[in-house]
């Protein structure tokens, strides 16, 4: 009965406009798309209607209510011991509910042990309709009545349960409950339930990681790879005498014993006994060889296991290839030459190297071969000559290839034991790193510098390489002026060697040295230098001329860079802004369109009153949102310019995005083409990559939180549910239709939960609806659909829908399988392989949709003539929504000292 009692009215109709026909001019595929091919099926050529319902996330930032409520306030609550009969009754009840039926049995027993005994008399209230839910109950004896709006709708008896959705979040009860006779119940509250699951899952996860550390074949894996595998194991239980594997059968799984013991038999003869923590079947992960022994349980045995298929999905490749790749990375890091290469260089080299195997005594390099003809990395074993030997992770030829040493080897180099190597020719080595070693490593240093500079941050790798090619080296003597304050600049400088002094108004303000930079604004703006820079001793700089930069950057990119640089202006003050109009109104704050008095630049200003901050305990949430937005800086993410505070409010000065949200755009477009879906999906991949590199999990990815700007490109907004994370997190947060199953079940989740949401959105792009619970508003029913994971495509969708493999990968039950070893593997998925990532990032691709937006000129002109100040406008808007019980709210209060100190 849980779905009758708890749900959240979190979805509201946006409008009742009929769905519009698709704009076929935006379908850029040269071939007929599946939309065109199926017009006869899709309502005689009309688009399948998209839902007009805006799906809202739970207000997890609500914190404490103004009125604190408790379930069953008159009950006598005790820690009464549970009999076997009680436990069976509770287990039977739990099995009927999705919140519990996915739990391991030991987890269920742990939850049962935490349940309290509630004893109530006749006609006592358990909870009231429209009050926040706290507990889940199982009736042990008696009767409970369910009432909606005072009307009796059902009666529950022994073995029935209710209130399970309260274990996930504090959504409002949709019914009232009261006893109709003396009643006893077992109950558990949300905090206890979630904490219990978190504790158990953490211990389970840590134990799995510990087991992984004990298995030699996993030692070479990175910590991220081990973390992913720790969450990917399956559990198996066996009774005494069960055959776990049989000699001669195909090998598929590696087993680790968690409880009990087993005996291994070869040709029916016992050869070894294995206990807790030991493992068997590891060869199955490396080779497709038959089992070499039979393994039989000596008693009740619990194992965890992982197979090749799941491991390949998690790691993005088979284990042998992952081991080789990781070994190569270790070898690169141990070479004083190869460690100077960039990660991109290393990836290119790894893909270009050939793996070879040798037996003891084999000649690996013959005498007389030039030393720079090959680079060899030892993956396994050992190689030697008369005067040296190289072991695992060692390199042969790295110095010679790097420095172009053409000497020859004077003797054969042989394998001392069975040995695996990775080898690449000297010529191919240079091709992979983009030229000679010295030049490539020098360019890597420059690239690392310019990637940090805002002006270059949005440029693709090809453009950055062009910039590096244009750099010229200039040398300066001691005391020589490099740039002079007040003169118009035309060059950008990166210090190659030496030290320079920066002077402002004849005062030396700082010294900067190797790989520092200055003068980047001169490449875009005709403005005077703000400082004098002169050499202190001999100095060499890489110099980029404005004319060379202009030859690389076209007008479109130049315009984008201008806008991004303008958003770095943190000198804007509240007093500089004029209010234009209210553009957003929420429960906690308002958003105003404002214009700068002097520059006419448009900004969005988000305001939150201190009264609401204190009333709803929003301090931590707003601080976190601010800190996250100050961390991110990307053309596809809403830019936070700065924050303000005064006695009454906190203010966020934001980039103004002129456009529509993706929810509205999709309803304008109808069903989108494969190209359009690819454009939007790739943009979201770029956004998530930027966030996840900074250890930020977004947690509420959906069309309503994505803007489509006036150029048709995406912009992620609203970081109220985002979190800076380390490891795993357990909070139930998000919007039900887009929520990953691991969030719902309390197993713990990480950044891969965002990719589940991406999979939902991709399905929505192409099919016109979400795959789970499209027609449901009750979170209980939505969660049931998600956990069932039965993806049903509309009948008019082709079986070979090009995006289908990616949809099903992103909606994988195993979170680690969604990106298959990392974001680069996702970006190279076959459906995305033709995406021009650099051009997309630089906004050089044709956007699928550009909205016809109103001209704001008149409104801005009116704002400049208005006598009402920004503060007066804000107070008026707040006043319109600040009536409580027919009276004005109390006067605003300043926040705490702690809050002030953070801003």
Q: Active-site positions?
A: 700
What is the rounded CA–CA span in Å between residue 392 and residue 665?
Answer: 56
CA 104 to chain centre: 27
Neighbours of 166 (CB within 10 A): 27
Residues 6+ apart with CB under 8 A from 874: 579, 590, 592, 607, 649
What is the rounded CA–CA span in Å between residue 210 and residue 229?
Answer: 12
CA 612 to chain centre: 30
Phi, psi of 288 (to 5 degrees): -90, 60
Find where tokens 């003396």 sit. 182
**DSSP SS3 for 272:** strand
Q: How many CA atoms lie within 13 A of 514 on its CB side?
A: 6
Q: Report the 3 state secondary structure along 591-611.
A: EEEEEECCCCCEEEEEEEEHH
What is the rounded CA–CA span in Å between residue 285 and residue 705?
Answer: 42
Find where tokens 């090619």 sit. 469
Neighbours of 750 (CB within 10 A): 20
How many helices (H) and strands (E) the chain has is answered by: 30, 45
Find where tokens 């931590």 sit. 620
* Residue among 137, 132, 131 at smallest CA distance from 77: 137
Q: Kindly give the interhelix angle for 308-315 and 223-230, rounded to the nearest 10 degrees.
A: 130
What is the rounded CA–CA span in Å between residue 645 and residue 222?
Answer: 44
Pair type for strands 507-512 and 491-504: antiparallel
Q: What share of the chain is helix, strand, coil (3-state, %, to 5)?
A: 35, 25, 40
606 annotated binding-site participant: yes
CA 815 to chain centre: 12
**DSSP SS3 for 645:** strand
The partner residues of 475 in beta bridges, in order of sequence, read 540
Token pair listed for 171 = 């959504």
* 328-to-257, 349, 350, 440, 724 alpha-carbon distances in Å: 31, 9, 7, 19, 31
* 318-to-215, 312, 322, 355 alpha-carbon distances in Å: 17, 5, 6, 15
As annotated, the binding site for ATP includes 606
As annotated, the binding site includes 606
């Amino acid at each position: 009965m849980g779905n009758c009692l708890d749900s959240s009215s979190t979805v509201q109709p946006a409008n009742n406009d009929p769905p519009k026909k698709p704009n076929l001019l935006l379908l850029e595929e040269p071939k007929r798309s599946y939309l065109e091919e199926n017009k006869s099926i899709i309502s005689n050529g009309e688009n399948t209607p998209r839902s007009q319902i805006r799906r809202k996330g739970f207000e997890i930032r609500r914190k404490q209510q103004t009125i604190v409520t408790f379930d069953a306030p008159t009950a006598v609550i005790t820690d009464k011991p549970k009999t076997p009969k009680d436990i069976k009754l509770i287990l039977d009840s739990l099995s009927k509910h999705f919140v519990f039926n996915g739990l391991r049995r030991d987890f269920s027993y742990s939850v049962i042990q935490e349940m309290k005994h509630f004893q109530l008399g006749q006609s006592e209230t358990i909870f009231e309709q429209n009050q926040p839910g706290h507990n889940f109950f199982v009736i042990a004896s008696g009767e409970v009545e369910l009432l909606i709006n005072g009307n009796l709708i059902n009666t529950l008896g022994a073995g029935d349960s209710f209130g399970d959705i309260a274990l996930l979040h504090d959504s409002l009860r949709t019914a009232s409950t009261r006893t109709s006779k003396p009643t006893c119940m077992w109950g558990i509250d949300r905090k206890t339930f979630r904490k219990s699951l978190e504790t158990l899952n953490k211990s389970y996860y840590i134990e799995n990681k510990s087991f992984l550390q004990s298995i030699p074949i996993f030692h070479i894996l990175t910590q991220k790879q081990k973390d992913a595998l720790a969450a990917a194991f399956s559990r198996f239980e066996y009774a005494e005498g069960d055959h776990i594997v049989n000699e001669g059968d195909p090998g598929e799984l590696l087993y680790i014993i968690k409880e009990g013991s087993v005996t291994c038999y070869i040709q029916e003869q016992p050869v070894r006994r294995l206990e807790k923590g030991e493992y068997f079947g590891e060869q199955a992960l490396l080779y497709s060889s038959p089992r070499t022994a039979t393994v039989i349980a000596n008693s009740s045995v619990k194992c965890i296991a992982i197979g090749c298929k799941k491991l390949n999905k998690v790691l993005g490749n088979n284990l042998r290839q992952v081991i080789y790749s990781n070994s190569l990375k270790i070898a690169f890091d141990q070479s004083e030459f190869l460690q100077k290469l960039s990660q991109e260089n290393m990836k290119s080299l790894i893909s270009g190297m050939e793996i070879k195997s040798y037996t003891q005594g084999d000649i690996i390099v013959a005498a007389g071969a030039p030393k720079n003809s090959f680079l060899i990395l030892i993956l396994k074993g050992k190689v030697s000559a008369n005067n040296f030997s190289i072991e695992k992770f060692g390199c042969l030829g790295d110095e010679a290839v790097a420095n172009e040493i053409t000497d020859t080897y004077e003797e054969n180099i042989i394998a001392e034991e069975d040995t695996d190597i990775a080898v690449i020719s000297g010529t191919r080595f240079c091709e992979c790193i983009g030229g000679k070693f010295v030049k490539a490593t020098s360019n890597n240093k420059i690239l690392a510098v310019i990637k940090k500079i805002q002006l270059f941050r949005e440029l693709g790798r090809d453009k950055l390489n062009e910039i590096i090619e244009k750099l010229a080296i200039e040398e300066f003597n001691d005391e020589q002026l490099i740039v002079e304050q007040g003169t118009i600049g035309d060059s950008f400088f990166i210090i190659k060697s030496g030290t320079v002094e920066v002077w402002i108004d004849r005062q030396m303000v700082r010294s900067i040295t190797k790989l520092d930079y200055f003068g980047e604004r001169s490449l875009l703006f005709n403005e005077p230098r703000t400082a004098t820079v002169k050499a202190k001793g001999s100095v060499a700089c890489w110099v980029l001329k404005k004319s060379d930069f202009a030859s690389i950057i076209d007008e479109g990119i130049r315009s984008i860079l201008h806008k991004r640089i303008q958003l770095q202006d943190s000198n804007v003050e509240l007093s500089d802004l004029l209010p234009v109009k209210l553009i957003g109104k929420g429960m906690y704050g308002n958003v105003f369109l404002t214009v700068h008095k002097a520059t006419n630049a448009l900004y969005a200003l988000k305001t939150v009153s201190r009264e609401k901050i204190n009333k709803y305990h929003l301090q931590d949430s707003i601080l976190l949102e601010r800190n996250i937005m100050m961390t991110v800086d990307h053309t596809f993410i809403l830019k936070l310019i700065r924050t303000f505070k005064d006695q009454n409010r906190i203010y966020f000065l934001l980039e103004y995005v002129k456009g529509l949200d993706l929810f509205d755009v999709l309803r304008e477009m109808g069903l989108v083409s494969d190209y359009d879906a690819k454009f939007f999906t790739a943009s979201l991949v770029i956004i998530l990559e930027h966030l996840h590199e900074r250890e930020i999990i977004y947690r509420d990815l959906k069309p309503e939180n994505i803007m489509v700007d006036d150029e048709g490109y995406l912009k992620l907004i609203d970081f109220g549910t985002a979190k800076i994370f380390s490891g795993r997190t357990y909070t139930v947060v998000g919007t039900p239709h887009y929520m990953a199953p691991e969030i719902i079940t309390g197993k713990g989740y990480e950044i891969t939960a965002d990719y589940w949401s991406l999979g939902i959105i991709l399905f929505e792009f192409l099919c016109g609806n979400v795959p789970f619970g499209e027609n449901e508003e009750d979170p209980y029913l939505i969660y049931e659909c998600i956990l069932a994971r039965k993806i049903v495509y509309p009948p008019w969708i082709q079986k070979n829908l090009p995006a289908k493999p990616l949809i099903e990968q992103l909606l994988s039950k195993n979170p680690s399988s969604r990106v298959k070893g990392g974001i680069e593997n996702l970006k190279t998925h076959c459906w995305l392989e033709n995406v021009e990532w650099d051009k997309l990032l630089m906004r050089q691709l044709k956007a699928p949709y550009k909205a016809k937006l109103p001209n704001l000129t008149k409104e801005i002109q009116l704002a400049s003539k208005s006598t009402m100040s920004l503060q007066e406008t804000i107070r008026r808007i707040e006043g319109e929504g600040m009536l409580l019980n027919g009276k004005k709210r109390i006067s605003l209060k300043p926040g705490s000292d702690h809050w002030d100190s953070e801003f």
